[in-house]
Structure 1
Amino acid sequence: MKGYLFLENGEKFEGELTASSNQEQFEGEVVFYTGMTGYQEVLTDPSYKNQIVVFTYPLIGNYGINEQDFESKKPHVAGVIVLECKDATNHYEAKYSLKEYLDKWNVPLLSHVDTRSVVKQIRNHGTMQGYLAQTETKGCSTIEKFPVSEVSTKTQVSYGRGNKHVVLLDFGCKKSIIESLVERDCTVTVVPYHTTYEKIKELKPDGIVLSNGPGDPKQLNPYLPTIKKTIEKYPTLAICLGHQLVALSFGADTKKLTFGHRGANQPVFDTLKNKVFITSQNHSYVVDELSLKKTSLTARFKNVNDQSIEGVAHRTLPIVSVQFHPEAHPGPSDSSWVFDDFIESLLNVRREKQYA
């Protein structure tokens, strides 16, 4: 059936709408993803909660949906927009077509859309709210929601049986982050985002990981004192939203980019190793570089394209944060060494305690 994307600035884009739900409209923040592949990981990444994703590559769905590459148990996107969606699948692992998978979870799909024009609107005017519907309605809410509570674990869960114990604060964690730690001989205890310092201390971790997640990091301001107290006591790796929370907890500031970084080809410069590598990213907010001057943090990683902060390090404590995704799902594995460096920091602290 014929359907439309309505943007909050008044622009309208026509396409073919597939939606199994009788819902009148589907609202979300309209963003775009530039990767040629990786749509399955994008759909199930909790960081995309409440977002309508425009895929810029013209053909999406040709290798279907498999049972291995999910980042969570269900899709979190509010809607999907493509130029062309492939019904048939051409991969031996495929279990569903993209349309079948979206239909199963009542996620609307708007196809045959001039995605270039949609992306130009976002690039020129910034990320904005929008909705998918058959006819124009009164519009949608422009108030940003607090989605972390919807995607964080509700109970404590453990993975792996390694000899290094990592507590992961879940703000909307991707499965592949946990897998990357388990592969490095870690026991990973995943806890809700609001877990207290006292509870974390009882778990006796060797280190802390702050996960990725959706939304404005400042919506988590009430939890910053707990986060700071925790990461000052243990070696810490923070990823994406977790990176922004590290910066905020030490007194830095964050701001929203015009249209964010979402893709699998973002070049990042490591000021310590003097190297550039390609990363996978998904974020709207960044750390304000000027605000770091009044903190104990230094900028370690920078985006080659726009010079935005891609990660920080503490001047004296074993705390490193990255805006990109070192687990590389989807995307290149150039930055997987970030996990290795984190594991080495755990071992260094363990050695120090042993010989103290």
Structure 2
Amino acid sequence: MKGQLILEDGSVYKGNLFGAVNPSEAVTGEVVFNTSMTGYQEILTDPSYAGQIVTLTFPLVGNYGTSPVFSESDKIWAKALIVKENYMTENNGFKALNEFLKDHKVTGISGIDTRSLTRHIRSCGTMRGYIKAGSEYDCDVLREHQDIKAKDDENLVAQVTTRKIYRLPGKGPRVVVMDFGVKKDILRQLQIKGADVVVVSAFSEARDIFSLNPDGILLSNGPGDPAHVPGIVATIKKLLGRVPIFGICLGHQLLALAFGAETYKLKFGHRGANHPVMDLETGKTYMTSQNHGYAVKEKDLRRLGLVVTHKNLNDGTVEGLRHRYLPAFSVQFHPEASPGPQDSGELFEEFYDMIIKKKHEEQVI
């Protein structure tokens, strides 16, 4: 079926719909791009993409099929998928991407000049858009969907967080994960270290978190603007200094806000599996997996007791922080590398070592 992507600035990209197609409904969302060459299933099921229409810049998508083992959550969170070419058949018994989208009631559109679309977003900045059936440009439909510009304040974390506490038992220290949209592979990395993992809602109170007797707290990845969840920031403030804290992606931004820093929206975000990041303390450069549209302002971080530990080598943005005195650190990228390179996986070990050191100090006292 013919279809088209229409951006809020009136730009039109024509293609063919696949996956779950409803001719009478348009799909709206923030249009972003990801430069990963593989990992389309992990991207689609990453809760950090809630509310977004994802463009994949790699030209051929779907060629190795889909499998439950690749999913980062139990559903597709992306609103829709944009590709240049969709590989339609099964591969080695794995379900085709087309069928995977149908199962999750998500629309895709192929035949789009994704290079042109990506260059447009890079030039003009991330913008909202919608995908609809048909090949004719419809000004009336565009006017009907002008509300797509006004949804940036939507609380996406509330949509993706767990509704109930759950535990992944382990024999090691207890790590409480505040779920802002946590990926399965982050939890898997904690389990590999032997941690006793307890996952709680993003909106849990500090007293309820402490009642679980955590040895460490992980602030997970997630979608949206960190400034739109002030209640979570207030909770994190109450957690500071009590036990080691590790923040990832949105968790990194929220930890920075809890210390008094500021965040801002990037022109077109960082989304892909090849972003170079330098560890300023060792001089080592990591190739990292990233998915975020906001960043932490570097101004005043030193005054707040925060040390910049990592920087993005493409644009100089802050990619990692640690507090000068308190046991808390964070990174903007995804050290679990799903999808992407595994260069920075040692950060989970650093977190685990911080927990063990803290427990030993308490026992000595």
Residue in 2 aligned with 1:128?
127
Q: 224, 239, 253: which one pairs with 2:233?
A: 224
User: Whole-Å Cα distance in 2 between the matches of residues 278 and 292 of structure 1?
Assistant: 25
Task: Map Cα deviations across residues 165-186 of structure 1 (whole Å, 9 max, x no partner).
Answer: 0000000000000000011010
What is the CA-CA distance between 1:273 and the residue it aligns to?
Answer: 1.6
Alignment TM-score, normalising by the size of structure 2: 0.95
* SS, match of residue 290 in structure 1: coil
Alignment of 1:52-63 (within 5 A): 52-63=53-64
2:232 & 2:337 partners in 1: Cα distance?
28
Distance 2:232 2:48 in 1: 19
Amino acid at match of 2:102: D
Q: Which amino acid aligns with 2:33?
A: F
CA deviations over 1:240-265 (Å, ceiling 9, x no partner) = 00000011111110011110110000
Deviation at 1:22, TM superposition (A): 4.7
Pairing 1:141–2:142 present:
no
RMSD of aligned Cα (Å)? 1.1
Matched residue SS, 2:321: strand
What's the CA shift for 1:293?
A: 3.6
TM-score by length of 1: 0.97
For 1:8, give the aligned amino acid: E
CA contact (8 A) 1:252 1:294 kept: no
How far off its partner does 1:222 sit? 2.4
Partner of 1:69: 70
CA distance in 2, matches of 1:72, 1:147: 15
Asked whether the 8 Å contact 2:30–2:51 carries over to 1, the reply is yes
Deviation at 1:119, TM superposition (A): 0.5
Q: How far apart are 1:23 and its partner, in Å?
A: 4.6
1:165-215: per-residue Cα shift (whole Å, max 9, x none)? Answer: 000000000000000001101011000011111111111110000000000
The answer to whether the Cα contact below 8 Å between 1:176 and 1:327 also exists between their aligned partners in 2 is: yes
2:301 to 288, 292, 317: 292
Q: Distance in 2 between matches of 1:231 and 1:212?
A: 18
Aligned to 2:310: 301
State the AA in 1 paired with 2:34: Y
Gaps of 5+ in 2: none
What secondary structure is seen at the aligned counterpart in 1 of 2:117? helix
How far apart, CA to CA, are the structure 2 residues paired with 1:15 and 1:346?
51
Conservation of the 8 A alpha-carbon contact between 1:251 and 1:294 = no
TM alignment of 1:5-16, pairs within 5 A: 5-16=5-16
Match of 1:190 in 2: 199
Taking the TM superposition and a 5 Å limit, the aligned residue runs for 1:258-273 are 258-273=267-282
Task: Return the offset for 1:148.
Answer: 0.5
2:332 to 323, 326, 348: 323
Deviates more, 1:187-196 or 1:291-300: 291-300
Write the distance in 2 (CA, Å) between the matches of 1:312 and 1:222. 22
Q: Residue 87 of structure 1 aligns with which residue?
A: 88
Q: Describe the SS at the equivalent of 1:292.
A: coil
In 2, Cα distance between the equivalents of 1:99 and 1:299? 43
Question: Number of residues paired by the alignment?
Answer: 354
Deviations 1:302-355 (A, max 9, x none): 001111000100000111100000110000110000000000000000110111
> What amino acid maps onto 1:186 in structure 2?
A
> Identity of paired residues, percent?
45
